[in-house]
């Protein structure tokens, strides 16, 4: 499929290099870094293995960023992975990616993060807690509506409205919130320097009582990789990045390096605040660590940081997801109205409203978590396809302009592909029901694609 003029020309290129780097960081840092390390410690009770897992996750993301950067500069327009798959394999694989991403992965992620926002907001306003049930429908309580679900839906709609009225406003909100949450995260290692209460031991690297080190490390890596999910969202909004052929690769690499550094220093802070035994299985590990270092005010500080962090993550996710929907509508694979650009705000306003409404409904339904689990497998599967797309595009379009060529090719993309395949295999073995359900959902997208082709 050749390169043609796209309706992206109607959009505003308002995301500069600094904002693009913060977009990468803001897309990723939601609530995961505040929650996952305690769960990981239950699988790998070793300070060295914990830090190794976070380092490996960062290196994996870097290989993905370098791989996507070349394709992003080849096709610097809205859609990102969708465009890479379309140009490499044709419209059907691209549609199936968009089908799963918009139906559950991105929309469900937005809903999940919004409910996390409501959970932590209830620390300050208990009446907004997800545990406060407002309505029950059905003789067996089949559907319940909580104050937290309403708060989550309201937060999604508010952020959708911000994105609706202009990419500059959405980008500004993302910059402010990302700066604030990075500052909050950096405060944790500062606390550790001033109030360390544990002297962590980094040896032995593998505890003697750890029966299956490799398998346990693989389980922990699942948490790391999903906490790092979203670094590629910038490619979905490439049509609004200033000078994307130069800034896209720089932003991806710098943003992922910054994320890896932040995650590492925050985990070092956890290790100086809590012993491994104190950390094992603790879900709100950041809250526990801050409280251990500076008392009850630490929990308040972490709760406020998570509130800011989750809002910032969803600003970026709504912007990126709506551009994917916009790109699909441009190709005739969604309702044509979704490709409209607002005459005053210069945003794909219909796509923004559609994604905002669907994510808000998922938050209200309370069923998004199960759906989100089902498509994890297919989401990783598309990472394999996107990595392989680089090799196919090198062969298929050898003379296409490539302002940036992947550093370390072919080794770097092969590392990304191999890591993705290993993750797919692990997910298939550990969660076969969810994986097969994800494949079923993927298969259901085929008749939907035929319908749009018929239209």
Compute the average pLDDT of residues 296-311.
91
97 within a domain of the structure (yes/no): yes
Q: Give the CATH number for residue 24.
A: 1.20.1740.10
Compute the average pLDDT of residues 396-412.
95
Min mean pLDDT across 117-126, 223-232, 329-338, 413-422 is at: 223-232
From the list 337, 412, 338, 310, the residue with the least C-alpha distance to 78 is 338
pLDDT attached to residue 3: 43
Q: Does position 1 have pLDDT exceeding 50, yes or no?
A: no
Strands (E), 172-270: none
Compute the average pLDDT of residues 133-146.
73
Q: Does position 4 have pLDDT exceeding 50, yes or no?
A: no
173 within a domain of the structure (yes/no): yes
pLDDT attached to residue 389: 97
Q: Which residues pair with 15 in a beta bridge?
A: 241
**Whole-angstrom distance, CA of residue 393 vs CA of residue 410:** 13
Strands 143-146 and 133-137: antiparallel
Min mean pLDDT across 55-64, 196-205, 286-295, 364-373 is at: 364-373
6 within a domain of the structure (yes/no): no
Could you report the per-residue pLDDT of 142-176, keeping only the tens digit for each?
678 889 899 999 999 999 999 999 888 888 898 99
**Whole-angstrom distance, CA of residue 425 vs CA of residue 256:** 25
* Pair 288, 38: CB distance under 8 Å: yes
pLDDT band (50, 70, 90) for residue 290? very high
pLDDT attached to residue 221: 84
Compute the average pLDDT of residues 54-83.
94
Domain count, the chain: 1
Say how many C-beta atoms besides its own lie within 10 A of residue 400's C-beta: 13
Q: Is-above-0.75 flag for pTM?
A: yes
Could you report the per-residue pLDDT of 347-360, keeping only the tens digit for each?
999 999 999 999 99
pLDDT attached to residue 142: 63
From the list 450, 400, 418, the residue with the least C-alpha distance to 71 is 400
Could you report the per-residue pLDDT of 80-121, keeping only the tens digit for each?
999 999 999 999 999 999 999 988 888 988 988 898 888 889
Compute the average pLDDT of residues 223-241.
88
Q: What percent of the chain has pLDDT over 70?
A: 95
Say how many C-beta atoms besides its own lie within 10 A of residue 136's C-beta: 12
335 within a domain of the structure (yes/no): yes
More confident residue, 451 or 393: 393
3 within a domain of the structure (yes/no): no
More confident residue, 273 or 145: 273
Q: How far is CA 263 from CA 189, 268, 297, in A?
A: 11, 9, 22
Q: Does position 371 have pLDDT exceeding 70, yes or no?
A: no
88 within a domain of the structure (yes/no): yes
For 358, counting Cβ atoms within 10 Å of its Cβ (0-12 exposed, 13-18 middle, 19+ buried), the class is buried
Q: Does position 261 have pLDDT exceeding 70, yes or no?
A: yes
Peptide bond just before 410 cis, omega within 30 deg: yes
Q: Would residue 275 be called left, alpha or beta, if left means φ above 0 and alpha means ψ between -120 and 50 degrees?
A: beta
Range of the domain at 381: 11-454
- In whole numbers, what is the pLDDT of the chain averaged over residues? 89
Contacts of residue 232, Cβ cutoff 8 Å, sequence gap at least 6: 64, 65, 68, 80, 81, 252
* Pair 144, 136: CB distance under 8 Å: yes
Name the most confidently modeled range: 41-45, 122-126, 385-389, 422-426. Answer: 385-389
Buried b (16+ CB within 10 A) or exposed e, 415-426: bbbebbeebbeb
437 within a domain of the structure (yes/no): yes
Peptide bond just before 204 cis, omega within 30 deg: yes
pLDDT attached to residue 176: 92
* Pair 74, 393: CB distance under 8 Å: yes
* Pair 113, 30: CB distance under 8 Å: yes
2 within a domain of the structure (yes/no): no
């Amino acid at each position: 499929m050749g390169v043609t003029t796209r309706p992206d020309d109607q959009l505003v290129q308002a995301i500069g290099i600094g904002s693009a780097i913060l977009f990468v960081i803001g897309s990723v840092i939601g609530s995961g870094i505040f929650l996952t390390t305690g769960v990981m410690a239950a699988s790998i009770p070793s300070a060295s293995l914990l830090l190794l897992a976070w380092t490996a996750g960062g290196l994996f993301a870097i290989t993905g960023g370098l791989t996507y950067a070349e394709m992003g500069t080849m096709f610097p327009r809205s859609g990102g992975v969708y465009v890479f798959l379309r140009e490499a394999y044709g419209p059907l694989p691209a549609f199936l990616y968009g089908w799963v991403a918009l139906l559950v992965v991105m929309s469900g992620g937005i809903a999940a993060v919004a409910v996390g926002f409501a959970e932590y907001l209830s620390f300050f306003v208990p009446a907004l807690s997800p545990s406060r049930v407002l309505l029950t429908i059905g003789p067996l309580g089949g559907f319940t509506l909580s104050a937290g679900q309403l708060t989550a839906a309201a937060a999604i709609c508010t952020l959708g409205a911000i994105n609706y009225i202009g990419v500059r406003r959405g980008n500004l909100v993302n910059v402010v919130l990302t700066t604030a949450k990075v500052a909050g995260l950096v405060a944790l290692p500062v606390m550790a320097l001033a109030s360390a209460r544990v002297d962590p031991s980094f040896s032995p690297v593998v505890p003697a009582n750890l029966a299956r080190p490799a398998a346990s490390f693989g389980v922990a890596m699942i948490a790391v990789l999903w906490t790092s999910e979203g670094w590629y969202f910038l490619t979905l909004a490439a049509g609004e990045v200033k000078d994307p052929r130069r800034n896209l690769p720089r932003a991806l690499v710098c943003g992922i390096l910054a994320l890896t550094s932040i995650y590492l220093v925050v985990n070092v802070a956890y290790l100086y605040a809590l012993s491994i035994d104190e950390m094992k299985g603790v879900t709100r590990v950041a809250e526990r660590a801050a409280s251990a270092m500076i008392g009850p005010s630490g929990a308040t500080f972490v709760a406020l940081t998570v509130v800011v962090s989750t809002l910032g993550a969803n600003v970026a996710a709504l912007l990126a997801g709506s551009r994917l929907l916009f790109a699909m509508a441009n190709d005739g694979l969604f309702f044509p109205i979704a490709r409209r650009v607002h005459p005053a705000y210069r945003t794909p306003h219909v796509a923004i409203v559609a994604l905002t409404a669907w994510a808000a409904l998922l938050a209200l339904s309370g069923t998004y978590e199960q759906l989100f689990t089902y498509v994890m497998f297919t989401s990783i599967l598309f990472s394999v396809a996107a990595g392989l797309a680089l090799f196919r595009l090198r062969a298929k379009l050898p003379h296409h302009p490539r302002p940036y060529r992947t550093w370390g090719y072919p080794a770097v993309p092969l590392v990304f592909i191999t890591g993705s395949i290993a993750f797919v295999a692990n997910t298939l073995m550990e969660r076969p029901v969810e994986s097969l359900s994800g494949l079923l959902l993927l298969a259901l997208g085929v008749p939907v694609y035929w319908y749009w082709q018929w239209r």
